[in-house]
DNA sequence: TCAATACTGAAATCTGAATTTCAGAAAATC
DNA sequence: GATTTTCTGAAATTCAGATTTCAGTATTGA
């Protein structure tokens, strides 16, 4: 009884319902689930029944209160949003059936699109400008796996601006590097679940030293966000055991590209001085 | 101003928001639109802000009350439910116009799709099986930037199978590690342009020692392919100065996922012995 | 036709959620 | 480093919406 969808409960209960209650049921099924998320009075009006009737209807469904019923609807909605395959079953189902790579890739593409929706353009822009300004030092660090993203990012940004530094190795050595951190410095941290406690600690220390923290994380939001000035959350969910960090990687590349654009006057000189052939 | 989606209003307003209000904004974007349909108190708690802050956030968005804001969300939801087919075009058409991140991301998604088309399923499968078999050693290495991909891949595969080794550091030290290579070993090499001459050299050496080379490269095909048994080319083209390696990264994750699947009987034991909590 | 019963919605009540206030904390500015 | 300003959440207040009551209306069965 507990884990049943509201729609299913309606179907179970419909024969027990009185005429006015049935109107409520029909109304809800017709505008599902939005009508149920409205206040009782509106629900009633839309469905052609009184508030009292709607309430009786909801209680017939087995919910002990109207808010309780609404919570169930919200949970359902959330559930549906999370599952990656709610639309286009025919198209994607046939394509994905046999081919692992195709299926994986289309999920990754979905995460990418989701990420673009999750990050406000102005937030992205603010991050890039902060990096391109090249004021003070810019530190980078990540967790067990994400550390490689930090490394990749550093390898690129190093070419573009001075003052890039990476927290290398284990928490122990981190403390040494902290002493150099000064107010106004920037720190780019990567943290996805399961979130790294030592990184949280490091973030606290950085915040205490007035460094501005840029956090790149997943949709469940690392606790580091507490200390971060700017947060870029990425969609990483996958229908398998582990999450996928591809969206973080692409975000990193987007940042690199944008920062390069912004800092071009300086960057072009730096790059030119390294690669005598010039820039392709 | 009237007919604007809530998400759009958030994007407009986000730079005016205070830190705590931004937490509310991100919380909502992360669980859109369900969180906004919950009572203020719950919204606040979920997003890590107080009710008062959530209210201020909502009013920044231009709604004169919380119920008013919720009505807007419900209307949007209803709208979306009514027209199941014309999602996307209005959103993506206007978005790609001015928005750097969206544009970048949609190119990256295109590369992803292109990559799936470029790689024959059988080739992909062969690579994964080769790795999952776990016969002999498996070496990893890459160029200046792609080395981080090798690192990322190793960090994961290390959990799944024994015998993972990474070529660390500069060409000089590489020679040392070569002496351990035996016939039947596997080497996974990453090489995108401009192709790394030292990697080509290493590949030659590996081939001479009868190691089987798996090459992950771009669509212009590294010269290493000369020595490789299996080649996975990825689309990396971009309409800007540099190429994007996001598709390589996602390919790496796809391989990891598939290998995990194939090697599950062994992998689950290994992982269980490291993380006492077991696999999520 | 007349009870007897079930159903319904208007109005009263009452609970719980939205809103406002305010004092302390944090950040920015000088 | 001190001062001003802004930001924030806890607590008080207000208000809207959920719940209950009850009288009127429809329905059923004799």
What is the predicted pLDDT for the residue at B128? 93
pLDDT bin (cut points 50, 70, 90) of residue A179 is confident
Q: Are B14 and B25 in contact (CB under 8 A)?
A: yes
- Segment A10-37 shows an average pLDDT of 83
Instruction: Report the percentage of chain B scoring pLDDT > 90.
Output: 35
CATH numeric code, B116-274: 3.40.50.10490
Contact call for residues B124 and A100 (beta carbons, < 8 A): yes
pLDDT of residue A275: 56
Cβ distance A184 to A136 under 8 Å? Answer: yes
- Give tens-digit pLDDT for B161-219: 889 989 876 665 666 778 888 888 999 999 998 888 888 888 888 888 888 899 999 88
Closest to A200 in 3D by CA, of A217, A185, A183, A186: A217
Q: How far is CA B245 from the centre of its chain?
A: 10
pLDDT of residue A89: 32
Phi-psi region of A88 (alpha: psi -120 to 50; beta: other; left: phi over 0): left
8 Å CB contact of A104 and B253: yes
A246 vs B70, B121, B246: nearest CB: B246
| CA atom of B89 to C1′ atom of C2, Å | 67
Q: Contact A151/B151, CB-based, under 8 Å?
A: yes
pLDDT at A41: 92
pLDDT the model gives residue B241: 67
Q: Is the CB of B175 under 7 A from strand C?
A: no
Q: Can you give the pLDDT at residue A98?
A: 61
Q: Where in chain A is the domain with CATH 1.10.10.10?
A: 6-82
CA distance B225 to B244: 20
Nucleotides of D under 7 A from a protein CB: 6-11, 16-21
The residues in A 118-147 lying below 8 A from B, measured between CB atoms, are: 118-126, 144-145
- Where are the CATH 3.40.50.10490 domain residues in chain A? 116-274
Residue A30 vs residues A6, A36, A47, A54, B166: alpha-carbon distances, Å? 13, 11, 9, 15, 59
Of B3-7, B93-97, B180-184, B243-247, least confident by mean pLDDT is B93-97
pLDDT recorded at residue A177: 78
Task: Write out residues 224-253 of A within 8 Å (CB-CB) of B.
Answer: 225-226, 229, 231, 233, 238, 240-242, 244-246, 249-250, 253
3-state secondary structure of B43: helix
Q: What is the mean pLDDT of chain B?
A: 83
Q: In this complex, is the C-beta atom of B260 within 8 Å of any C-beta atom belonging to chain A? A: yes
CA of A97 to C1' of C28 (A): 58
CB of B113 within 8 A of CB of B247?
no
pLDDT at A84 over 50: no
CB-based burial, A191-227: b 16+ in 10 Å, e otherwise: bbbebbeebbebbebbbebebbbbbbbbbebbbbbbb
**Spatial distance from the CA of A79 to the C1' of C10 (Å):** 38
pLDDT of amino acid B279:
39
Nucleotides of C under 7 A from a protein CB: 6-11, 16-21
Indicate yes or no: strand D within 7 A of the C-beta of B52. yes
Determine whether the interchain pair B253/A260 forms a contact, defined as Cβ–Cβ distance below 8 Å: no
For domain A6-82, the question of CATH label 1.10.10.10 is answered with yes
CA atoms within 13 A on the CB side of A12: 11
Q: Return the pLDDT at A265.
A: 80
Q: Count helices and strands (H / E) in chain A.
A: 14, 5
User: How many Å is the Cα radius of gyration of chain B?
Assistant: 25
Q: Is residue B55's pLDDT more than 80?
A: yes
Nearest to A155 among B23, B145, B261 (CB): B145
Which chain B residues are within 8 Å of A235, Cβ to Cβ? none
Q: Which of residues 179-198 of B touch A (CB under 8 A)?
A: none
A41 contacts chain B (CB < 8 A): no
Residues contacting B251, CB < 8 A, separation 6+: B115, B119, B216, B232, B234
Whether the beta carbon of A49 falls within 7 A of nucleic chain C: the reply is yes
| Cβ of residue A52 lies below 7 Å from strand D | yes
| Angle separating helix axes A147-160 and A264-274, nearest 10 degrees | 90
Find the Å distance, CA of residue A78 to C1' of nucleotide C18.
Answer: 24
Does B67 sit within 8 Å of A39, measured CB to CB? yes
pLDDT of residue A13: 81
Q: Is B257 on the interface with A (CB under 8 A)?
A: yes
**Dist. CA A189–CA B63, nearest whole Å:** 35
CATH topology of domain B6-84: Arc Repressor Mutant, subunit A (1.10.10)
List, by residue range, all CATH 1.10.10.10 domains of chain B: 6-84
Name the residue closest to the C1' of C6 by its CA. Answer: A18
Please state whether strand D lies within 7 Å of residue A228 at its CB atom: no
Q: Does A60 touch chain B (CB under 8 A)?
A: no
């Amino acid at each position: 009884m507990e884990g049943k969808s509201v729609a299913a409960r309606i179907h179970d209960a419909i024969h027990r319902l009185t005429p006015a209650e049935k109107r409520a049921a029909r109304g809800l099924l017709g505008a599902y689930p939005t009508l149920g998320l409205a206040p009782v009075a509106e629900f009633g009006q839309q469905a052609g029944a009184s508030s009292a009737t709607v309430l009786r209807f909801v209680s017939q469904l087995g919910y002990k209160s109207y808010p309780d019923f609404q919570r169930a609807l919200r949970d359902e909605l959330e559930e549906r949003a999370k599952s990656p395959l709610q639309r286009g079953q025919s198209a994607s189902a046939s394509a994905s059936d046999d081919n692992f790579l195709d299926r994986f890739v289309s999920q990754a593409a979905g995460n990418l699109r989701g990420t673009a929706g999750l990050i406000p353009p102005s937030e992205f822009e603010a991050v890039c400008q902060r990096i391109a300004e090249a004021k003070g030092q810019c530190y980078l660090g990540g967790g067990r796996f994400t550390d490689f993203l930090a490394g990749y990012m550093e390898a690129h940004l190093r070419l573009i601006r001075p003052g890039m530094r990476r927290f290398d190795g284990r928490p122990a050595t981190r403390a040494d590097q902290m002493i150099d951190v000064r107010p106004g410095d920037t720190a780019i941290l990567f943290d996805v679940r399961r979130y790294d406690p030592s990184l949280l600690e490091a973030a606290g220390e950085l915040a205490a030293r007035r460094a501005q923290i840029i956090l790149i994380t997943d949709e469940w939001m690392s606790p580091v966000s507490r200390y971060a000035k700017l947060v870029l959350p990425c969609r990483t969910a996958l229908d398998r055991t582990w999450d996928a960090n591809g969206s973080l990687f692409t975000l990193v590349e987007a940042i690199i590209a944008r920062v390069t654009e912004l800092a071009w006057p300086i960057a072009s000189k730096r790059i030119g001085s390294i690669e005598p052939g010039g820039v392709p």
